Amino acid sequence: MDDKNKKASPWKSLQFGLAILAGLVVYAYGFQITKVDLEDLRSERRQESLSRVMRALARPEIFEYEQQEEIINTPVYVTCPASGAPTIAEPDKSGPYLIATPACANPGETVQVEGFNFAPNTNGPLRFIPGSDPLNNVALGRDNVQTDADGHFSYEFKLPDRPSDDVQYIRATLRQNVGAPHLTQTARDTWEKIIETVFLALLATTFGTFLAIPLSFIAARNLMKPVKSPLASIALSILGWPIGIVIGFVIVRWIESLSSPFAGNILINLFAIIVIPILVSFGLRWALPQEEITKPSSRLQTARLAVLALTVMVAFFGLFQLASLSTNLGAIGTTALGTFGFLGNFLFQVGDIVSIITPALGGIAAGATLSSFMGRLGQRSTEKLSTANVKIFNLVFSTLAGATAIGLIGQLVRSLYLVNNLLYTLWGPVITGALLGFLLALFTKPKDTLPTGMVIYYVTRTFLNGLRSIEALVMAIVFVIAVGIGPFAGVMALGLHTIVSLAKLYSEQVESIMAGPLEAIQATGANRLQTIVYAVIPQIIPPYISYTMYRWDINVRMSTIIGFVGGGGIGFLLQQNINLLNYRAASAQMFAIAIVVASMDYLSSVLREKYV
C-alpha cells in the first residue's frame, strides 16, 4: 500500500501541476473573453459618470415640490461690435439681476456671470440664448448654478461658437421649491406597474399550480409504472380522443347556439343559473349512485348513461348561461361601479373566457370520456375474444390508431410550418403511422399488456425537461410575439414556466411518498383516481404548499424583469428609464422592486411557517 503510494507520487504531483496549469489557462481565457479590465474603472471619465449615476440612484424620484422659477436675462455680444464695447443698460436692481463681464467677447473666451438678489439656496441651469434663434439655446456648463445664503452666485464659462451682430442673452433659470412635497408622476407610474407586477406573479403562480398538479401525477414513476394495458385497449383509446373531441365540440357548439338567443336577458340567465344546478345535482345523484353493492341490470345502466349525458348537456347550457350572466353583469358593473369598475370588468372578462373555453372543455371532456370508454371496450374484447381474433382486432385497430395519431401530427406540422405538400403532411404520416401500428400489433403477443404508463411517463418527463430548460424570459419573447406586448404575455410565459418546473418538483414529491398507504388503499378495491385522492394527495400537501410558495417567490422576482422583453410589469419602466439615462426614475423603480421582493419573501416565510 505504502509502496504503491510512493511510486504514484511523482505522477500524482505532475497531474496536480497540470490541473493547476489547465485551470490557469481556463481563467486567463475567461478574463480575455469577459474583458475584465480594472484600468477602465480607474479612468476619470468612468468615475465621474459612475458617481453621477450613483448620485441619481441615491435620490429616487419619488417626491417632488411645486417649483417657482425666476428667469433673468442679461445681454451679451459674441464678438464685440465694430463700434466698440456696447453699452449695457443698468439692470433693475430692485429684483434679481445678472451681470456678465465682459459684456462682449470672442467665442471660446471666458466670461464671468454674477447673479444678485436671487432667492437664497436655489439652483438651476445657465443657458446661452442666441438672438436669432432663441429655441436653439445652449447649456452653459454641465452643472446647475447654486445661489448662496444671500441669493448671490458667480460663475465662469466659455462663450459658445455662436457669433452674431445682434444682441444675444445669457439666461439664468433658478428654481425654488414651494409648498408641501407630493408624489411624482414617476412614483405614480411605478406604483401602477408594481401592482401589475404582483398580480402578474399571482396569476402565473395560480394557473401554473393548477395545471402542474395533474401533470405531476403522470410524471411520477411510482404511479405510472403499474399502468399497463393491452394493445387493443390502447389503440381504441387513441382513436377515441379525436372522435370524442370532435363530437364534444360539435355538441357543445350546438348547446351554445341554443343558449345564445337568451344570452342578453339577465332574468333568464339568473333563472337558468338557479334551476340548472338543482337539475344537474338530481341528475348526477340518480345517474351516479354513491354506492353499488350488486351489479345493476344493463337496462338500468343504459338509462343511467342517457341521464348522465343529458345532465352534462344541461350543465353545459348552464355554463353558457353563467357566462352570459357574468358578461351582462360585468358590462353593467363596469360603468355603474365607478372606482370599483374593475370588478365589473373582471366579471365581463371571466364571462368571455368561460364562453370561449367551454367548447374546448366540452371537446376535451368528450374526448377523455370516449377514449376511456373505448379503452375499456378494448380491454373487454381482449378478455372475451379468442387469441386469434384478438390478433386480428389488434392488427386492424392498431393500424387505424397509428394512422390517426401520426396523421394528426402531420396536420399539426402543416399548420405550424405551412408545408403544402399532401405527401408530407397527410399521406406520408398516415402510411407511416399505419405501418408502425401494424408492425406493433404484429410483433406483440395478442393478450400481452404494454407499459402504457411508462411511455406516458417518459413522454411527459421529456416534455417537462425540455420546456423547463427554456428561461421564462425567452418564453416571454415568444408570447410577446403571440399575444402582443403587455402583462398577458408575461402571465403566459411565467405561467408556462411555472407549470413545467412545478410539475417536475411536485412529481418528485409524489415519487417519494410512502408506498404502504398506497398499497393499503389499493387493497380496498379503490380505483386509480380514488387511490390518488385518498393515499397520494394527503401525503403531498405539505411539500406542495412549500414548493408553491417557493415558486411564488421566484415569480415575483421574475415578473420584475419580464418587462424587459415586453412582458408587462415594472421591468418595462425600469428598462425604459435606464435607456433614457433617467437614473432617478430608474432608482424609484429599483426601490419598489426591492420593497416588493423583500415583503413577499417575508410574507411567504410567515405562511410557510404556519402551514407546513
CB of 248 to other proteins, least distance (A): 18
Residue 520: closest CA among 508, 537, 534, 510: 534
Residue 158's DSSP bridge partners are 110
Q: Which residues within the stretch 535-564 sit at the binding site for other proteins (CB under 8 A)?
A: 535, 538-539, 541-542
CA angle 345, 349, 353 (to 5 degrees): 170
Residue 176 C-alpha cell reads as 425654488
Residue 517 binds other proteins, judged by CB under 8 A? yes
CB of 311 to other proteins, least distance (A): 12
User: Which residues does 58 contact at the CB level (< 8 Å), separation at least 6?
Assistant: 587
At how many degrees (to 10) do helices 341-384 and 298-336 cross?
160
379, 381, 399, 559: residue in contact with other proteins (rule CB under 8 A): 379
CB of 531 to other proteins, least distance (A): 8
Residue 526 binds other proteins, judged by CB under 8 A? yes
Q: Indicate the residue among 288 and 482 with the shorter CB distance to other proteins.
A: 288
CB of 57 to other proteins, least distance (A): 49
Q: State whether residue 133 is helix, strand or coil.
A: coil
Task: Determine the interface stretch with other proteins among 353-361, 395-403, 528-536, 601-609 (rule: CB under 8 A).
Answer: 528-536
Question: Could you tell me how many residues of this chain bind other proteins (CB under 8 A)?
Answer: 32
C-alpha 347 chain-centroid distance: 22
Task: Determine the interface stretch with other proteins among 148-156, 202-210, 392-400, 525-533 (rule: CB under 8 A).
Answer: 525-533
Residue 298 binds other proteins, judged by CB under 8 A? no
Which residue in this structure is represented by grid cell 398577458? Answer: 488
Residue 612 binds other proteins, judged by CB under 8 A? no
CB of 272 to other proteins, least distance (A): 23
Residue 220: closest CA among 455, 509, 520, 531: 509
DSSP 594: H
x-or-dash string of contact with other proteins, 255-284, rule CB under 8 A: -----------------------------x
Q: Rounded CA gap, 11 and 447, in Å?
A: 62
Residue 296 binds other proteins, judged by CB under 8 A? no
CB of 383 to other proteins, least distance (A): 5
User: Which residues does 393 contact at the CB level (< 8 Å), separation at least 6?
Assistant: 232, 381, 382, 385
421, 519, 594, 611: residue in contact with other proteins (rule CB under 8 A): 519
User: Which residues does 313 contact at the CB level (< 8 Å), separation at least 6?
Assistant: 251, 255
38, 135, 178, 523: residue in contact with other proteins (rule CB under 8 A): 523
Residue 301 binds other proteins, judged by CB under 8 A? no
Residue 516 binds other proteins, judged by CB under 8 A? yes
Residue 331 binds other proteins, judged by CB under 8 A? no
Q: Indicate the residue among 250 and 537 with the shorter CB distance to other proteins.
A: 537
Q: Rounded CA gap, 463 and 499, in Å?
A: 11
C-beta of residue 447 within 8 angstroms of C-beta of residue 218: no
Q: Which residues within the stretch 189-208 sit at the binding site for other proteins (CB under 8 A)?
A: none
Residue 396 binds other proteins, judged by CB under 8 A? no
First to last CA, the chain: 52
41, 293, 416, 418: residue in contact with other proteins (rule CB under 8 A): 293
C-beta of residue 98 within 8 angstroms of C-beta of residue 128: no
Q: Indicate the residue among 311 and 399 with the shorter CB distance to other proteins.
A: 311
What are the C-alpha distances in Å from 239 to residues 176, 232, 245, 248, 402?
78, 11, 10, 14, 9
C-beta of residue 56 within 8 angstroms of C-beta of residue 583: yes
CB of 255 to other proteins, least distance (A): 21
CB of 517 to other proteins, least distance (A): 4
CB atoms inside a 10 Å sphere around CB 338 = 9
Residue 507: closest CA among 219, 188, 132, 196: 219
Q: Indicate the residue among 93 and 295 with the shorter CB distance to other proteins.
A: 295
Residue 297 binds other proteins, judged by CB under 8 A? no
Residue 520 binds other proteins, judged by CB under 8 A? yes
* Torsion sign over Cα 483, 334, 189, 592: negative
CB of 290 to other proteins, least distance (A): 5
Q: Rounded CA gap, 375 and 401, in Å?
A: 12
Task: Determine the interface stretch with other proteins among 112-120, 322-330, 433-441, 521-529 (rule: CB under 8 A).
Answer: 521-529
Residue 288 binds other proteins, judged by CB under 8 A? yes
Residues lying near other proteins in the complex (CB under 8 A): 284, 288-293, 376, 379-380, 383, 514, 516-517, 519-527, 529-530, 533-535, 538-539, 541-542
